[in-house]
Chain A
Amino acid sequence: MIRYTMPSSVLALWLGALLACTPPTQEATHARPQTSELSVVMTDTDFVSATYAVGNAAFRGRTTIELLASGAARVTQARDDSTQTFTKQLPASECKAVVDQLIALQPCTLRSQRANGNPDEDEVTFRFTQSAGSCELRFWVNERWDQTSLKQLVDLFRALERSVVAAE
């Protein structure tokens, strides 16, 4: 249930980059960040993102939530043949709050504890990406009731979804 390609130290670099939470002002250099200090406000503009997806578009709907390094957030709700997309540029304070919570949760350290799901149980996937690598995680959505950090992670993205959808 997991494909892990990025060490947590690299994720920390990416999360550090997110701390800027401002739109890019120049072309990305694709240079590997030179520091892992999260307190440093990064100016690197490599593409980075955090993505959460849950559900089945052919049944009760599928929601995808993306947070970009620029602070832009996008929610896509797909159901049957219909797709709605919502976008929002997060205020710096809101973006920083999200990033701070991601840092605290260290999502790439989480692991699914179940190979099989209950009938009708949705699968939730996360992807955290920066130029140096990424980690992808899969869980059964109701594992969150047994893993506090996973529940906090899901709640974080759902709060982000509400914020983005409400903005339009």
Chain B
Amino acid sequence: MTVSNNISEARNPGLGSYAWVSSYALEITDDACQITIDVEVHRDADVSEAEERRVKRQTANEFARYWDSRFNLVDDTGNRRPIRVALNYVNTSGHLSVALHAGDDRDDLSNWYVLSDNTTRAHELGHQLGMKDEYIDATVPNRANAAAPGIQTDHSIMGNYYTEGQRGADVRARHGDQLAGDISAATGMNFTAELRDSYIVRRGDTLSWIAERIYGDASKWQDIYALNTDQIQDPNLIYPGQELQLPPHP
């Protein structure tokens, strides 16, 4: 089935809105809740095929780093399923259509730049999952200043990670709640979400970076290491695909 929601954030009078359609394919089995976003990428004439391939690969990896298997979907009988997420690049009929431009500039949901940073694309794809921005925007009443209700300052991937510290940016429990709410509405069932107590290693991860993102403290890598000595011989060597057990979340 497809989960689809029209999302709008009103700006000040006369300035329009930020508006988009959050949509993705959803499949719930006994073992997992699989979310797949079909993405069309249309490169400009001055973007090479190799650049497009690299952006696609890096974006898929970064999207998985922040969003894949980070939450459990919990049904009303207490059964838990990991929320898996993936990108599926397609030529037509995608849930999301993106224009890929040359150079380095500021990404938005539908415009990516070859040299922009991958964390920002993970942020943009968070919008496709139904998340709203959490940083200050003076033109948006709900986010007009630091005290506005839509502002979060906990190193959220949807927040101002440029200022708070990009390496510490991560998903937060409320993002799982948003997913569970949207899935509940789409399926007519009652789901909640929780942060998972494990993490799947992605290309580029280190124990200290994982610790910095999840606990806000890079030195906690030792706690992660201590829980996983059965599969980590050298803490400087972890491998994509390894599923690490995590100490309790703060």
A59-B137 in contact given A118-B109, A142-B111 (Cβ < 8 Å): yes
CA of A115 to CA of B136 in the docked complex: distance in angstroms?
21
B108 touches A58 (CB 8 A): no
> Whole-angstrom distance from the CB of B100 to the nearest CB of chain A?
11
Q: How many residues of A contact B (CB 8 A)?
A: 21
0 or 1 for each of B108-142: is its CB under 8 Å from A? (1 = yes): 11110000000000011001000011011111000
User: Quick one: which of A59, A138, A145 contacts B101, CB cutoff 8 A?
Assistant: A145
Q: Contacts of B123 on A, CB cut-off 8 Å?
A: 120
CA of A80 to CA of B8 in the docked complex: distance in angstroms?
26
User: Quick one: which of A58, A119, A121, A138 contacts B132, CB cutoff 8 A?
Assistant: A119
Kindly state whether residue B89 has any CB partner on chain A within 8 Å: no
0 or 1 for each of A123-143: is its CB under 8 Å from B? (1 = yes): 100000000000000100110
User: Quick one: which of A55, A60, A116, A142 contacts B18, CB cutoff 8 A?
Assistant: A116
A117 touches B106 (CB 8 A): no
User: Quick one: which of B15, B20, B136 contacts A118, CB cutoff 8 A?
Assistant: B20
Q: Contacts of A118 on B, CB cut-off 8 Å?
A: 18, 20, 108-111
User: Quick one: which of A80, A116, A120, A145 contacts B99, CB cutoff 8 A?
Assistant: A145
CA of A118 to CA of B108 in the docked complex: distance in angstroms?
6
A119-B124 in contact given A59-B162, A80-B163, A142-B108 (Cβ < 8 Å): yes
Nearest A residue (CB) for B159:
A59
CA of A56 to CA of B143 in the docked complex: distance in angstroms?
12
A142-B138 in contact given A60-B162, A120-B123, A121-B18 (Cβ < 8 Å): no
User: Quick one: which of A1, A119, A138, A145 contacts B133, CB cutoff 8 A?
Assistant: A119
Kindly state whether residue A100 has any CB partner on chain B within 8 Å: no
A123 touches B15 (CB 8 A): yes
- Known pairs A56-B137, A119-B109. 10 more at Cβ < 8 A? A1-B15, A56-B135, A117-B19, A119-B18, A119-B127, A120-B106, A120-B107, A120-B109, A121-B108, A145-B111
Of the A-B pairs whose beta carbons lie under 8 Å apart in the complex, a sample of 6, sorted by A's number, is A56-B137, A58-B138, A80-B163, A118-B111, A119-B124, A119-B133
